Amino acid sequence: MAHHDQKIATMIDDTLHTLGGGAPATSPEHGVNLVEDWIAIVRTNVNTQWVAEPLAKLRDALDSNNMREVERVMRDLAGQTEDLANNAAEGQNKQELRNLATALRDFAQGMAK
């Protein structure tokens, strides 16, 4: 479990870094690769496997360059991430998940402009 938590923490850091550049700095191809990495990680733990489905929707929207759908799915993922953070025990990436939820919302909002 500790190894899985470390992978999640690393992916959160990588994702926050990627999203921090904003929509103009991130290509759909880079987004697809990042989402594929997330899918691989969440599928390795029964507690996070449920995230694979919305991530697959995001990957498919990015791959088809459907930015409206990307924005919608990112907002949904932000809400789910916030819920996950609120239900996580202290120390289980709680603050990092909140930061990720905020970054997803901000990125999606930036796409809407």
* pLDDT tens over the chain, length 113 residues: 567 677 878 888 888 887 777 655 567 788 888 889 989 988 988 878 888 999 999 999 988 988 899 899 999 999 988 888 888 766 667 888 888 889 888 888 877 66
Domain count, the chain: 1
37: nearest Cα among 12, 61, 19:
12
Full DSSP string of 65-111: T-HHHHHHHHHHHHHHHHHHHHHSPTTSSHHHHHHHHHHHHHHHHHH
The predicted pLDDT at position 1 comes to: 55
Q: Is 23 a member of any domain?
A: no
Domain of residue 87: give its range: 1-15+31-112
CA–CA distance, 76 with 83 (Å, rounded to integer): 11
90: phi > 0 → left, psi -120 to 50 → alpha, else beta; which? beta
Residue 24 lies in a domain: no
pLDDT at 17: 82
